[in-house]
Amino acid sequence: MDSALETPDSPAGTQLAGKSAKTISTTAPQSSELPEVLNNRYRIERLLGVGGMGAVYRARDLLREQYGDPDPYVALKTLNEEFAEYPDANALLYSEFALTSRLRHSNVIRFYAFNVDRTSQRAFMTMELLKGPTLDHLISERQEGLPWLEFRQIAIPLLEALHASHSLGVLHGDIKPSNVMLTADGLRLFDYGLGEPLQGLLPGLPRLSRKRIAAWTPRYAALELLDGGELTEAADLYAVAVILYELISGHHPYSRLTAKQAKCMEQGETLDKPENLPKHCWPTLKAALAFDEQDRQTTVAELLASFNHQPISLLQRLLGRTA
């Protein structure tokens, strides 16, 4: 320290007056701040995560607590203020709830209820409170990439969750490492805030219009989404493939570029098989990482099958023959 003490007594204030450059917007219309307790039941305790559209808090369910529930906590999602200002914002959150409450899978977050706070008129939905590291933690910590067996323990339930969602007609729309958590009782895929029903499912439901609210996470979004295209199973496939590549190799397949940038730089040409990935899985994973939708000639189910497949080694074959 004591080097810092040699610094001469410096003035606390600088000559600068006026507004700090840090705050960009001061013109947003007034909107209700999130109350501390919603509907006299859910007390907001801490912020768990933020996204472009919503924020998720840990909330204490005072009703469950009153009845002696030892673990009366829920995750509570509200739309961010800029979306809360849309006239149909509550309907938007409801459509997320309606879509996702149809999902039943042990690796997909469980949704509890949709509510509107009586005082603020802000809609919110409650869901199971997840505890554990998300995949972005894991990727940050394991920059050498995961060994194959450890990788499989994550890849298979993740692909199963996505496959189950698609089978039930639900597209996720924003698959990324921070939307996958490793809880004590298994992996959970969550945040279907940009999810959409597959064609024909839930016809009466208000849909998130990508023409009006186009949103994505740049490094995980498929090229067609960046170009304003429709969300399809293939876009979810691209995003999950990027995560899988990142997990097993320790780095983003396209140097953390967006699909658009990476395609311009022809990064697809130089994509190498991650060292820890068995050879038989590479063609499927590589196909899932194709920039153009029509070149993504594989499916979530095929990716799952290739990771589940255990090729018999020459030694096993020989032993099998002698047994």
Site for other proteins in 99-128 (CB under 8 A): none
Nearest distance, CB of residue 317 and other proteins, angstroms = 44
Contact 76, 124 (CB under 8 A): yes
Establish if 178 lies at the interface with other proteins (CB under 8 A): yes
Indicate the residue among 50 and 264 with the shorter CB distance to other proteins.
50
Site for other proteins in 245-284 (CB under 8 A): 256
What gap in Å lies between CA 45 and CA 115, rounded to an integer?
18
Determine the residue type at 158. Answer: L
Contact 57, 47 (CB under 8 A): yes
Establish if 315 lies at the interface with other proteins (CB under 8 A): no
Indicate the residue among 51 and 157 with the shorter CB distance to other proteins.
51
3-state secondary structure of 282: helix
Please identify which residue in 107, 115, 217, 249 interacts with other proteins, judged by CB under 8 A.
Answer: 217
Which residues are paired to 43 by β-bridges?
37, 60
What gap in Å lies between CA 125 and CA 123, rounded to an integer?
7
Where does this chain touch other proteins (CB under 8 A) — which range of 214-222, 230-238, 261-269, 297-305?
A: 214-222
Site for other proteins in 8-67 (CB under 8 A): 9-26, 28, 30, 33, 46-53, 55
DSSP states of 10-44 as a string? --SS-S--S--TT-----PPP-PPPPSEETTTEEE
The binding site for other proteins (CB under 8 A) comprises 1-2, 4-5, 7, 9-26, 28, 30, 33, 46-53, 55, 80-82, 136-137, 140-141, 174, 176-178, 193-194, 213-219, 228, 256
